[in-house]
A and B are shown apart, each in its own frame.
Chain A
Amino acid sequence: MFEESNIVVGLEIGTSKICVVVGEQNAEGAVNIIGLGQSPSNGVRKGEICDSEKVESELRTAISEAEQMADVEIRSVYLGVTGSHIRGFNNRGKHPVVSADREISADDVQDVIKNAKAINLPAENTVVHAVRQHFCVDGQDGVTNPVGLLGARLEVDMHVIHGHANRLQNAIRLVRATQLEVNEIVFNGIASSLALLSSEQKELGALVIDIGGGTTEYVVYLDGVIRFSGVLAVGGDHVSNDLGHGLKVPLSRAEKLKRDYGSALVTEEAKGQTISLQNELGLTLKNVNHEHLQRIMSLRLEELFEVIGQELERAGLTDYLRAGVFLTGGGSRVPGIDKLAERVFQMNVTHGHAATVGGITTALDQPEWSTGIGLVKYGSLKNRQRAPKPSIASGLKSVVGRFLQRS
């Protein structure tokens, strides 16, 4: 009964599908993925819910699938959020050390973090994450733990990710409506990078690009901390839409063409070739130029990378990504996308692999699941941070409490 607390569930309500990942955390804190559930998603556009009824029923399907597979009852989830309204930026908080001996205390640290969080956000926005990067004592950079050091001025750099409160709340409310508790909301980009990056890669500097159905998240880690993050509301849907428009085929057909014949680069074999589209009786409906198909896709994906590249350039991070670029998300399945990204970013590009957790290996190799897995990873890290294990009495209390809440 008390093993419940070791179950960590990640939920991503994506544009193309809803993913539920169930992880089990052992006593050492390592995570094993024991269950997966998914359901195609029709009520989400560009990462944000536009038809809550549809999403709700699809969510129930995905949850029950995951429950069956993992043989657990899911009570609470870590919810992944995305959308064009989410933005990240770096902020610096300052605090003078006032104690007589100039020794920095834990209170000073609390204060400086509070200062860094007090930022100029539009009134309707709320902070999703405020991640501490490092401290700076009297101008000396790169201090990770200033408590006990001497100094007159303490500063801290934070990476703040914020989003539109109502739009974030929509997803949370919807999950609550299905009698699930939301432990925390997590930016999808952070979740994906947690799943993919090892601590060495974070140290060296890495860019994670998660190309989803409706949105693309990008996150830069450098010196072990998150440096840069953002969302672009362009994803696999846009590729299909471009194809539908350019080849004059319906969207469903475009989607299928993308999967069957797509490429991120125009290949030699495709030049001058046509693909004949057939109906269910085997009659040819239309011929589609293979080269055009690939060129349309290539242009779209190239632009996507270019936009991210420009953002990086502006942040001045391009030269620091020594571990290179990591691609993930369903959109990264397009053949040749690594070559294209290499060409745009001029650095090493790899397909991300969720190596930081164990368990069902088929899931770990699929780019679509990296966000879900990352959410579980995030949850497990939170669990580990949490104060000493609850005593049996309090554990019982919380379980009973939860039981009462649910009924």
Chain B
Amino acid sequence: MQAKILSLDRLDDLATALAIFSTQAAEAVAAIRAELLRQQAELDRQEEDAQVEVSNRIEAFQYAADDDERESCVYFLAEAQERLSRIRGWQARVREEHSAFLVHAIQFARLLDQTLPKSQELLNARIGDLRTYGAVQVEPGVGAAATESASGPVPQPSGEVFSPRLTKLTEHRLPEGFVWVPLAEIDEAKLAGVASQDDYRKVPYTTMVTGLRRLAAEILPRINTNPDALDRDAFRHLDETARESYEDGLQRIYEAFFCEDFVYLERQRGQEKFEITNGRHRIRVAQDLGWEAIPARVKDLRS
């Protein structure tokens, strides 16, 4: 099969769409379950009312003064019993369908938690790889080290891109003072407050997803060649050349990770995991994108 990728931006869009779907789907399933539980509770309440009605009719029959009243009580008791029976019949059908729904909901949750992150990782690695080769071709001076390590063909003038291997994100070198911290070593306690896209007030979720993706695809490959030679001014210059505003450009992303607002983690003596001091939103997005690690400054007292 001939490898052919005619639009890398579309792959980028798909990766972003997957990350967004993952969040939206989890929220939607929670909403479905809440609504179904509310409806079931309403049905249970009707069953309780019907049960009380039957009890009342039986009591009325016991205290009936004469045959006419007893006959009337029997009529209404039969009606109440029929209603109770009908509701219980519905409850049985609901229980059956609810069990079937739960099976699918559990499978779907597993898919979102396990399969989807792996797929995102696969896609992101592919995009990072292709962008790296793209950068090698467009800017040979910046990507000199990458050129030496690239064993396969580079992008073709026709626009078709051929890629022989995946590049591991954590293989990129970082500026002095920064390290790759595996996400598995970060305490997730502080991530509870960033469970939905509504929790991204300062910078919208989709903007942050794009930022991390550009960090991986456009910033880290450039830093990789000489981690301490590139600074915010270098990325400002790139933005100006590309006619990108500060808000949409690389300088802002570079500053977010490697200047004043860097991700900062602390691990106390005797602790297994790092606590998040700064950067919980970025860490959550890194999880959504299927990253294994994130660049951060750390204070590690464990070792």
A binds B: no
Q: Which residues of A contact B (CB under 8 A)?
A: none
